[in-house]
Structure formats: structure tokens, C-alpha cells
Amino acid sequence: MDATSLALGASQYLDELKKVIDQVDVDQVTAVIDTLVRVHDRAGSVYIFGNGGSASTASHFVTDFNKGIGASFRLACLNDNVPTVLAVANDIGYDQVFVHQLHSLLDPTDLVIAISGSGNSPNVVEAVRYAKGRDVETVALVGYDGGQLRELADHCIHVPVPDMQKVEDVHLAMNHLMMTVLKDYLGSRDR
């Protein structure tokens, strides 16, 4: 492969990614940001989780919000406690790794954010069902056709493409977008 081929591949990927970003519904994003403001104002906690690349995005989300916003958000990434995840997976079942943690944590003032490229990860879907059964508001970040989470969650940011890398790229961009908008909004409002 020569440098021209590499540049062409990089350019093509970026062009495709721009088109994917243009497909994201700004109203969906705004609804999620508004939900985060309401949870912040009522001093609720945000529990976020996913598998694989989505787990990485969930961890990144918590880091950015805890460090970057400057306003106190109570966030926890359920996939970050590896010993708990592994113990539940081994002793109970992998489909329960997030639900089991939510049992002792959830309060009606809280928010659950589920990230799944397919929208069908059984342990993620199960946790959203549990939260909804406890009257806790839910958000999903999904790709492809949205899977079960698109219909199950109260709010959904849907990246409607069948390409996991681009779905994950946009999910991370949504994290940065929400952090930036909230930092500016809460900073100006709370002065």
C-alpha cells in the first residue's frame, strides 16, 4: 500500500463519518441533555454502562463529566468495577452484571444511560428493563436499527448505520458534545 492509498482510505472514512454525524437527530440529543440537567438539579445519580467499546465510552463519559463540567454530577460507570462484574458473571450470569449492581443503587431521582452498538446486548437491555420497572428514567445510545433499546428507553440517541466503528465514534462524539454544552449551560446559569 502506498501513501496515496492510505490517504484515500483515511479521507473516505472521514467523509463517511461526517455523513453519519449528519444523520443524528439533534432533538434526541437535546432531550438527553435536558434530562441530564434535570437529574443534576434534583441531585440524582447517573449510572452508565456498556460492553466492549461501549464500556470504554461509558468510562470516558464519567471521566469527562467528573473532570470537565465543573458542576457536581454524581456519575458511576457500572462496568468499571471489574471484580464485581466478574463475580456476578461467574456466580449469577453475565446477563445480570448491571442489574445486580442497580438493585442496591437506584432511586427514582436517578438516570440510567445504556450504551450498546446493536441495542440488543442482553445484559444492557435487562438493566434498562429493571430501571424502567423502578420508574427510573432511561437513556440509550445505540446504532444499527436501534435494537430493543431504541423502543425500550425513554430517550434514545440513535446512530442509524450498520458500522460498529462509526457508531462508536459518534457515541463518543455525543459524550463530548453533551459535556461541552452542559459545561457552558450550567456554568452560565449557576454564576
User: pLDDT by residue (tens digit) across 43-92?
Assistant: 999 999 999 999 999 999 999 998 878 767 899 999 999 999 999 999 99
- pLDDT value, residue 1: 67
Query: What is the CATH code of the structural domain delimited by 27-190?
Result: 3.40.50.10490
pLDDT digits (tens, 9 = 90+) for 92-141: 999 999 999 999 999 999 999 999 999 999 999 999 999 999 999 999 99
Q: Nearest-CA neighbor of 32 among 182, 183, 188?
A: 182
Report the share of the chain in percent with pLDDT over 70: 98
Q: How many helices (DSSP H) and strands (DSSP E) are in the chain? A: 8, 5
The CA distances from residue 55 to 78, 116, 138, 169, 187, in Å, are: 9, 9, 17, 13, 28
C-alpha cell at 67: 473532570
